[in-house]
């Protein structure tokens, strides 16, 4: 039943030979890898206004200059990652670039920062999607968290179905959002040029801002800049996902990155400009309406059909924006697992040629954040950009080192581009972390080192295990003596089968052991053994405290001391009921013994099942 449900939810397995056919075209890849970055225009401008509004009405006029600075940074970072994509056509995320050029610790720092960033991408995007719905339907505000969790579930199922299939699902809403936003910008600019703009904020709401302090300091501007830098999250996704593109991979990826950067720049600046013209204010306590919703009301003249389309497209793209993380988080985990910094299970493709284990981990981690932060975007934002900009800086520094080391054709130009990228992203990382430190960014200083420590502990385990399992320097082992012990609680057909198996394994070296906890039961076992036990000796161990495991363990240790070069095999007779629920009606003695013997040296546990019929 479980297998049938799995097939219904995620589809039938895809053979490995079809992997190359699951590649993405530029149009679909733009939807898969750019939805996070493009969707940030729905809340990045609002995050700037959240800070500037503290300085009064005069400070709000700085929103466009702040957004322009962020747009210039976006262009610099995009050009830097174009260099990275060409240099690493098999996937050049921060982790790969840093590992290749800077060493272990910088690469793990970049990897940890990106993992945190991807989890936050899902939490922030789906929380923002819920907010867009609440803006249109305020009565749904109490259901914000359940809505976000439902979106996590739907995205997880869609991605478990496979990359190409999920890309087709997500491409239509992404392009619908782009078309809707450009319609908003065109109509809004027309109203601006024809002087027909009507502010969406009433005079009584503006009056307190007019009388607010107009002392606009550098600190306030830097805080607004740091808040708006969420517009850059998701820029690296394309460089991480180069292998998912159709051939020529790196060329298609660079083209897609350029298109994404252009669209993002225009939409971000346009929305910020219209927010300033329409005097849209960030949502206040008790008013869940977003800035983009207010602009939509102003541009489209109320909550009619065009406004509803805008809100629907915005909610959809914000929900689907998390798909960027679903595409790259599992891939990054697979890189880490391949290098033995994460469990090997994350390097294995699932039935649908996707990294299923990574997808599930991402869903669980993001759901936890949504619940903890009550699906509130502003509460999640302070954690958002810090780790991402640390990864940006490490990646660009790694590229500078690569140009310097290899000195390929055009290395001086490439080193200059990546050097500017490294310097600017480093400055922004300092600004973001310092300005948001007491708002929650300090948590990154705990989480990222903790993740790095986990990476190193996992790697140390794999290295130690590999050394101990290595055949290098191994002398041919001497012959082993195999002593077989068969625990017997009562005598039935399953026990007789197990005894026959044990005798075939070690003829003449088999001993049956019965733990005496009930005199009547022990007498029955002795009587039956005289008839069915054959030549196999039966050892009866007293257990005055009714313990099954401890007397058996002591006996095995005693037998083990008799010979220096032996291994003890414990053969466990088990009967398997016809129905799964029948197991609840029987003592799980064999399972208990397996758990007790599994981690003891020189012990081998063999189960001999006897299957019952209906």
Kindly indicate the confidence band of residue 298, based on its pLDDT and cuts at 50, 70 and 90.
very high
Distance CA 470, CA 489 (A): 40
Shared domain for 178 and 314, answered yes or no, is: yes
Give the range of the structural domain holding residue 218, as residue numbers without chain letter. Answer: 41-459
Whether 390 maps to a domain, the answer reads: yes
Structure tokens at 248: 């020529």
Where residue 417 sits, what CATH number does that domain have?
1.20.1740.10
Distance CA 270, CA 590 (A): 68
Shared domain for 439 and 575, answered yes or no, is: no
Shared domain for 445 and 590, answered yes or no, is: no
Shared domain for 67 and 152, answered yes or no, is: yes
Kindly indicate the confidence band of residue 214, based on its pLDDT and cuts at 50, 70 and 90.
low
H/E stretch holding 567: strand 566-576
How far apart, in Å, are the Cα atoms of 67 and each of 117, 380, 384?
22, 21, 18
How far apart, in Å, are the Cα atoms of 149 and each of 152, 363, 595?
5, 9, 36
* The predicted structure's pLDDT at residue 208: 60
Task: Give the residue, 399 or 171, on which the prediction is more confident.
Answer: 399
Q: What residues contact residue 284 under an 8 Å CB cut-off, 6+ apart?
A: none
Q: What is the rounded average pLDDT for all residues in the chain? A: 84
Does pLDDT of 316 surpass 70? yes
> What is the arithmetic mean of pLDDT over 577-603?
75
* The predicted structure's pLDDT at residue 4: 61
Backbone angles phi, psi at 486, to 5 degrees: -115, 105
- Rg of the chain in Å (alpha carbons): 32
The pLDDT tens digits of the residues spanning 478-504 come to 777 788 999 988 888 888 999 999 999
> What is the arithmetic mean of pLDDT over 402-408?
90
Q: Structural domain tally of the chain?
A: 2
Distance CA 190, CA 299 (A): 10
Whether 6 maps to a domain, the answer reads: no
Q: Which strands, in side-by-side order, build the sheet including 510-516? A: 538-542, 510-516, 481-487, 566-576, 603-611
* The predicted structure's pLDDT at residue 285: 46
The pLDDT tens digits of the residues spanning 444-461 come to 888 999 999 999 999 999
Does pLDDT of 21 surpass 60? no
Kindly indicate the confidence band of residue 223, based on its pLDDT and cuts at 50, 70 and 90.
confident
Does pLDDT of 428 surpass 90? no
* The predicted structure's pLDDT at residue 112: 92
CA nearest neighbour of 186 among 299, 102, 82: 299
Rounded to 5°, the CA angle 36-108-100 comes to: 95
Does pLDDT of 43 surpass 60? yes
- The winner for highest mean pLDDT among 104-108, 123-127, 316-320, 579-583 is 104-108
The pLDDT tens digits of the residues spanning 74-96 come to 998 888 888 888 888 877 578 88
* The predicted structure's pLDDT at residue 10: 62
* The predicted structure's pLDDT at residue 11: 58
* The predicted structure's pLDDT at residue 178: 94
The pLDDT tens digits of the residues spanning 153-210 come to 988 888 887 655 556 666 888 899 999 999 999 999 999 999 999 988 765 566 666 5
The pLDDT tens digits of the residues spanning 369-393 come to 999 988 887 677 667 667 778 888 9
Residue 269: burial class (beta carbons within 10 Å; 0-12, 13-18, 19+): buried
Whether 471 maps to a domain, the answer reads: no
pTM (whole model) above 0.85: no
Distance CA 456, CA 477 (A): 33
- Cβ atoms of residues 66 and 256 within 8 Å: no
Does pLDDT of 526 surpass 80? yes
DSSP 218: H
Shared domain for 580 and 444, answered yes or no, is: no
* The predicted structure's pLDDT at residue 284: 60
3 state DSSP class of 486:
strand
What are residue 514's DSSP bridge partners? Answer: 540
Backbone angles phi, psi at 517, to 5 degrees: -115, -10
Whether 329 maps to a domain, the answer reads: yes
Shared domain for 451 and 498, answered yes or no, is: no
Does pLDDT of 243 surpass 90? no
Shared domain for 364 and 334, answered yes or no, is: yes
Shared domain for 486 and 438, answered yes or no, is: no
Whether 33 maps to a domain, the answer reads: no
Where residue 586 sits, what CATH number does that domain have?
3.40.50.620
- Cβ atoms of residues 386 and 436 within 8 Å: yes
Does pLDDT of 560 surpass 60? yes
Shared domain for 443 and 493, answered yes or no, is: no
Whether 166 maps to a domain, the answer reads: yes
Distance CA 386, CA 144 (A): 26
Shared domain for 548 and 440, answered yes or no, is: no
Task: Give the residue, 128 or 477, on which the prediction is more confident.
Answer: 128
Does pLDDT of 2 surpass 70? no
Shared domain for 439 and 499, answered yes or no, is: no
In 189-218, which positions are buried (b, 16+ CB within 10 angstroms) versus exposed (e)?
eebeeeeebeebeeeeeeeebeeeeeebee
Whether 30 maps to a domain, the answer reads: no
Shared domain for 562 and 503, answered yes or no, is: yes
3 state DSSP class of 340:
coil
Whether 604 maps to a domain, the answer reads: yes
């Amino acid at each position: 039943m479980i297998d049938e449900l799995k097939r219904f939810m995620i589809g039938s397995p895809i053979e490995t030979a079809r992997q190359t056919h699951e590649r993405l075209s530029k149009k679909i890849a733009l939807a898969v890898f750019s939805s996070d970055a493009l969707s940030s225009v729905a809340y990045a401008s609002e995050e700037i206004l959240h800070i500037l509004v503290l300085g009064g009405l005069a400070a709000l006029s700085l929103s466009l200059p702040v957004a322009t600075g962020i747009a210039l940074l976006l262009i610099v970072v995009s050009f830097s990652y174009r260099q990275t994509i060409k240099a690493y056509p098999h996937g050049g995320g921060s982790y790969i670039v840093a590992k290749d050029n800077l060493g272990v610790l910088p690469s793990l720092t970049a990897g940890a920062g990106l993992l945190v960033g991807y989890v936050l991408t899902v939490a922030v995007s789906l929380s923002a999607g819920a907010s867009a719905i609440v803006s249109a339907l305020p009565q749904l505000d109490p259901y914000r968290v359940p809505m976000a969790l439902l979106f996590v579930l739907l995205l997880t199922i869609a991605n478990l179905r496979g990359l190409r299939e999920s890309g087709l699902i997500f491409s239509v809403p992404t392009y619908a959002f782009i078309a809707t936003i450009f319609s908003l910008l065109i109509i809004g600019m027309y109203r601006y040029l024809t002087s027909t703009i009507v502010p969406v904020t009433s005079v009584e709401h503006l009056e307190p801002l007019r009388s607010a302090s107009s002392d606009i300091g550098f600190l306030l501007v830097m805080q607004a800049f740091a808040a708006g830098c969420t517009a850059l999250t998701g820029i690296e996704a394309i460089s991480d996902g180069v292998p998912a593109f159709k051939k020529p991979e790196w060329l298609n990826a660079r083209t897609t990155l350029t298109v994404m950067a252009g669209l993002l720049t225009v939409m971000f600046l346009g929305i910020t400009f219209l927010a300033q013209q329409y005097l849209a204010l960030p949502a206040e306590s008790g008013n869940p309406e977003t800035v983009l919703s207010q602009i939509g009301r102003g541009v489209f003249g109320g909550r009619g059909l065009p406004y509803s389309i805008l809100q629907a497209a915005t909610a959809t793209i914000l929900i689907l924006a998390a798909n960027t993380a679903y595409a790259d988080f599992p891939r990054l985990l697979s890189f880490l697992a391949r290098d033995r910094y994460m469990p090997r299970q994350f390097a294995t493709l699932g039935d649908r040629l996707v990294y299923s284990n990574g997808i599930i981990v991402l869903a669980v981690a993001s759901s936890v954040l949504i619940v903890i932060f009550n699906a509130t975007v502003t509460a999640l934002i302070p954690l958002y950009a810090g780790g991402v900009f640390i990864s940006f800086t490490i990646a660009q520094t790694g590229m500078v080192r690569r140009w310097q080391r290899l000195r390929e054709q055009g290395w001086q130009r490439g080193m200059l581009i990546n050097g500017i990228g490294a310097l600017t992203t480093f400055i922004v990382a300092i600004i973001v972390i310092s300005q948001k430190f007491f708002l929650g960014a300090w948590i990154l200083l705990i989480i990222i080192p903790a993740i790095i420590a986990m990476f190193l502990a996992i790697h140390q385990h794999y290295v130690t295990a590999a050394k101990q399992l290595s055949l290098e320097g191994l002398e041919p082992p001497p012959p082993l003596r195999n002593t077989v012990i068969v625990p017997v609680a009562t005598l039935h057909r399953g026990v007789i089968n197990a005894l026959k198996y044990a005798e075939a394994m070690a003829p003449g070296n088999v001993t049956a052991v019965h733990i005496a906890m009930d005199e009547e039961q022990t007498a029955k076992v002795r009587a039956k053994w005289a008839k069915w036990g054959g030549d196999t000796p039966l050892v009866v161990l007293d257990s005055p405290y009714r313990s099954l495991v401890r007397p058996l363990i002591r006996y095995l240790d005693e037998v083990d001391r008799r010979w220096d070069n032996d291994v003890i095999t414990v053969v466990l007779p088990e009967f398997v009921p016809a129905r799964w629920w029948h197991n609840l009606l029987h003592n799980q003695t064999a399972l208990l013994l397996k758990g007790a013997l599994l981690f003891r040296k020189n012990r081998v546990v063999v189960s001999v099942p006897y299957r019952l019929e209906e």
